[in-house]
Chains A and B, each alone.
Chain A
Amino acid sequence: MLKFSGWRYDCFRPPKQPARAMHPASFRPSLRSVIAALLPVAACYAQWLCWPVIRPLIWFFFYPVVFFSSWLGGPGAGLTATVLATGLAWWFFMNPVHVLAKPSPVLYLNAGLFLVMGGLFTLFHERLRRATRRAAEAEAAAARRAADAELREQGELLDRMSRLAKVGGWAFDVATLKGSWSDEVARIHDLDPSIQPDARSAIGFYLEEDRPVIAEAVRKAIEEACPYDLELRLVSARGVTKWVHTIGRPILQDGRVVRVQGALQDITDRMRIERDLRDSELRHRATLEQRVAERTTELQAANGDLESFAYAVSHDLRAPLRAMGGFSQALLDDYGAVLAPEGREYLDHIITSSHRMGGLIDGILHLSRATRGELARVPVDLSALAEAVLADLAGSEPERHVRTQVQPGIRAQGDPRLLEAVVGNLVGNAWKYTSRTADASIQMDAVQEDGKRWVRIRDNGCGFDMAFADKLFKPFQRLHRQDEFPGLGIGLATVHRIVRRHGGEIKAVSAPGRGACFYLSLPMPETAEAS
């Protein structure tokens, strides 16, 4: 290609690839030489056309043409063009024209000068060309050295990285099973990097139990082009067992696997850390479980103690009380006649007190039962329970007139016996604390508030002062005097415990003389309510 760009000799750039030498384009330099050698003909024709104008400048076109030819075509073409130009000028432009007869001596001198100049041009260009070529070669060599250095540096970097990550690459040829591997792969095998393996011997390094796995994976990679990714153990040349992560990728050519290449990483450290971690986790869990078991045992023991205590209370505290009341009664029956009225009154006090203490014991038992034992979880109809309690109360005190209103179908999920105690206590309280109200009324309904369903039990009885509300659910705490409303102070404490055990909530709103309203949230039955 004739490409002129400044003073550069593109055609003499060193060929980048030797293969190009066989290309048809390689004939170009000789073609260029021919063209260059024949350029004086074109110059001669051009001068012929312009002759009337430039006459008598015989060499007008031939000097530049010879200069150009020697630049374009090299020394041979330059010299040929010089001789040819001399001949053409002699023949066509020297007087007398078209004859080889001797012209004037001046013309000889001119022709001789032209020949010398042509030779000089050729020499000049040849030297320039050589200098350019040397410079280009030097430049190319420098570039090659730089590239080599960079390659070496990258190789070293890769090697350092390989060592650090303990990972290397390998490949083998399917036809010959001959392979190659990177230094790090050799190091993982504790082999000298100069030893290049074949696929069979490489598989032989794997631990005997793992060998069938890798052999099968390699077979599938070759025959079915299946890649693999395995974590296996190998035994190095020094007999060290190592965990390795091996990845294999089949390389296909024309639908056949020709090579398998992959990577191998030493993951012994990782596996050890993982195993240590797993072991410590197992140990930790075992300790934790043991601790939980111990605590559970302790808790069960404590619960057992509590139960036997409650049982003892129920059984052993009652007998002396019964004796106190019973013998007082016997005294009254047998010797009442010989006692002064005051003495009989004292005995009455003993009897009443023993009854009251019996009630307290029963209350404590109820309270303790509310927190003991298995909690049943079945649907319970609270409305029906409330109706039953109200019917009982009305039966026991037929002289009272209380307006009652119970919304039907209020249900909860829980223990029937305990929920009966809850409803019994709350409705019983409403009944008790409305005993001094003229137009007594008790209502039970369900409302939705704060995203929860609340069961409300309302009365218009004497109520209580909210300032003492914190005492409401504590055992043996009462907000009314015994002579106003008798009671033990255990009912609401029991209710509170039962509701809490069910995962529910209880709260109360009241004001003295304005009635009380108890809010109860309990788990809803799982099945949709029938009504």
Chain B
Amino acid sequence: MNPLSILMVEDNREDEMLTLRSLQKAHLGNAVDVVRDGQQALDFLFREGEFQDRPGTDLPAFVLLDLGLPRLGGLDVLARIRADPRTSTLPVVIFTSSSEEEDRLASALRGANSFVRKPIEFAAFAERVARLGIYWLAVNERPGGAR
């Protein structure tokens, strides 16, 4: 069985690389699947479209979801994840540059498990990613989790 993986929904390549680097630096070797927009994220989770035949059967340990995404936005993705019984309990961490109260509120109301702002300073950024990874991979226990 696959060890726990992470689904990262991120359209910005630099943020993706920095996140991966931060996870690596934190010695978290779990697989990270990266998709570039909201539609891809849903296709990945529900095994549809281009991800119809993706290997592995499990859902990721958690989703790292950016808000400003092309095509389907982060909040819409979150709503669809919560609406589907297969993914309704899947942990979703909003990871965004936004510091808007509106976004915090909207995320919480749509059932995000966490809201984390991406700091500009890389040191702070790396620390947050590391903490996030450890918490959601190692500390958190979720219902139906394949442990």
Binding site for B on A (CB under 8 A): 311, 314-316, 318-323, 325-330, 351, 354-355, 357-358, 361-362, 365
Q: Are A355 and B100 in contact (CB under 8 A)?
A: no
> Is the beta-carbon distance between A311 and B98 smaller than 8 angstroms?
yes
Q: Residue B12 at the A interface, CB < 8 A?
A: yes
- Output the nearest chain A residue to B118 by Cβ-Cβ distance: A322
Residue from B67, B96, B121 within 8 A of A355 (CB atoms): B121
Q: A321-B120, A322-B120, A355-B120 are in contact. Are A365 and B125 (CB under 8 A)?
A: no
- B117-138 contact mask (Cβ, 8 Å, vs A): 1 or 0: 0111111010000000000000
Can you give 22 A-B contacts (C-beta < 8 A)? A311-B98, A311-B100, A314-B100, A315-B68, A315-B96, A315-B98, A316-B68, A316-B97, A318-B118, A319-B97, A322-B14, A322-B15, A322-B97, A322-B120, A323-B15, A329-B123, A330-B21, A330-B122, A355-B121, A357-B120, A358-B121, A362-B99
Total number of A-B contacts with CB less than 8 angstroms? 63
Please tell me if the beta carbons of A314 and B121 are within 8 angstroms of each other in the complex: no
The minimal Cβ–Cβ distance linking B58 to chain A, given in whole angstroms, is 30
> Measured between C-beta atoms, what is the minimum distance from A262 to chain B in Å?
72
Give the CA-CA distance A362 to B118 in the complex, in Å: 13
CB distance from A366 to the nearest CB of B (A): 10
A307 to chain B minimum Cβ distance, whole angstroms, is: 9
- Whether B98 and A323, one on each chain, are in contact in the complex, defined by CB atoms closer than 8 angstroms, is no
B59 to chain A, nearest CB (A): 27
Nearest CB in chain B: distance from A494 CB, A: 15
Q: How far is the CB of B129 from chain A (nearest CB, A)?
A: 11
The 7 closest A-B pairs by CB, nearest first: A358-B120, A323-B14, A326-B122, A318-B97, A329-B122, A326-B18, A315-B97
Q: List residues of chain B with CB within 8 A of the CB of A361.
A: 120
Residues of A within 8 A of B15 (CB): 319, 322-323
Q: How far is the CA of A315 from the CA of B100 in the complex (A)?
A: 9
Instruction: Say whether A318 contacts B14, CB under 8 Å.
Output: no
Shortest distance from the beta carbon of B2 to any chain A beta carbon, whole Å: 29
CA distance A408 to B14 in the complex (A): 50
Q: Which of B91-110 contact A (CB under 8 A)?
A: 96-100
A319, A354, A355: most-surrounded residue (chain B CB, <10 A) = A319
**Which residues of the other chain, A, contact B18 by a CB distance below 8 angstroms?**
322-323, 326-327, 330
CA distance A322 to B129 in the complex (A): 14
Known: A322-B119, A323-B15. 20 other contacts (CB 8 A): A311-B98, A314-B98, A315-B68, A315-B96, A315-B98, A318-B97, A318-B118, A319-B15, A319-B97, A322-B14, A322-B125, A323-B12, A323-B18, A325-B122, A326-B14, A327-B14, A330-B21, A351-B122, A355-B121, A361-B120
- Most A CB within 10 A of own CB, among B12, B100, B119, B122: B122
Residues in A neighbouring B120, C-beta threshold 8 A:
318, 321-322, 325, 354-355, 357-358, 361
| Cα-based distance from A299 to B25 in the complex (angstroms) | 49
* The residue from B67, B96, B99 contacting A365, defined by CB atoms under 8 A apart: B99
Q: How far is A316 from B68 in the complex, measured between Cα atoms in Å? A: 9
List chain B residues, Cβ under 8 A from A330.
18, 21, 122
- Separation in Å of the B135 CB from the closest CB of chain A? 21
Taking CB atoms, residues of chain A closer than 8 Å to B96 are 315
* Distance in Å: Cβ of A389 to nearest Cβ of chain B: 20
Closest Cβ neighbor of B11 among chain A residues: A319
Instruction: Give the complex CA separation of A311 and B97 in angstroms.
Output: 10
B residues in contact with A362, CB < 8 Å: 99
Residue numbers in A under 8 Å from B14 (CB-CB)? 319-320, 322-323, 326-327
**Which residues of chain B (60-91) have a CB below 8 Å from chain A?**
67-68
Tell whether, in the assembled complex, residue B122 and residue A319 are in contact, meaning their CB atoms are under 8 Å apart.
no
- B18 nearest in chain A by CB position: A326
CA distance in complex: A357, B120 (Å):
9
Kindly report which residue of chain B lies nearest to residue A319, judged by CB atoms.
Answer: B12
Q: A316-B68, A319-B12 are in contact. Are A325 and B121 (CB under 8 A)?
A: yes
Shortest distance in angstroms between A370's beta carbon and chain B's nearest beta carbon?
13
Q: Which of B12-65 contact A (CB under 8 A)?
A: 12, 14-15, 17-18, 21
How far, in Å, is B140 (CB) from chain A's closest CB?
A: 26
Question: For the complex, what is the distance from the CA of A316 to the CA of B120, rounded to whole Å?
Answer: 12
Q: Which residue of B lies closest to A355 (CB)?
A: B121
In the assembled complex, the CB of B141 is this many whole angstroms from the nearest CB of chain A, namely 32
Complex CA distance for A8 and B14, rounded to whole angstroms: 136
How far, in angstroms, from A322 to B21 measured CA to CA in the complex? 13
Contacts of A325 in B (CB 8 A): 120-122
Nearest-Cβ distance from residue A364 to partner chain B, whole angstroms: 12
Residues of B within 8 Å of A358, CB to CB, are 120-121
* Smallest CB separation, B20 vs chain A (Å): 11
Within the complex, the shortest CB–CB distance from A384 to chain B, in Å, comes to 22
Instruction: Decide if A322 touches B98 in the complex (CB within 8 Å).
Output: no
Residues of B within 8 A of A327 (CB): 14, 17-18
The smallest C-beta distance from B114 to any residue of chain A, in angstroms, reads 18
B125 to A326, Cβ gap below 8 A?
yes
Closest residue of chain B to A333 (Cβ to Cβ) is B25
CB neighbours of A355 from chain B (8 A): 120-121
Determine the distance from Cα of A323 to Cα of B21 in the docked complex, in whole angstroms. 12
Chain B residues with Cβ under 8 A from A321's Cβ? Answer: 120
Q: Are A314 and B97 in contact (CB under 8 A)?
A: yes
Q: Which residues of chain B are within 8 angstroms of A320 by Cβ–Cβ distance?
A: 14
CB contacts (< 8 Å) of B121 on chain A: these are: 325, 355, 358
Q: How far is the CB of B36 from chain A (nearest CB, A)?
A: 14
Whole-angstrom CA separation of A325 from B120 in the bound complex: 8
Q: How far, in Å, is B80 (CB) from chain A's closest CB?
A: 21
Chain A residues near B122: list those with CB within 8 A: 322, 325-326, 328-330, 351
Bound form: Cα–Cα A141–B23 in Å: 132
Give complex CA distance A320, B118 in Å.
12
Bound CA span A323–B68, Å: 17
Which residue of B has the minimal Cβ distance to A354? B120
A315 to B21, CA, bound (A): 21
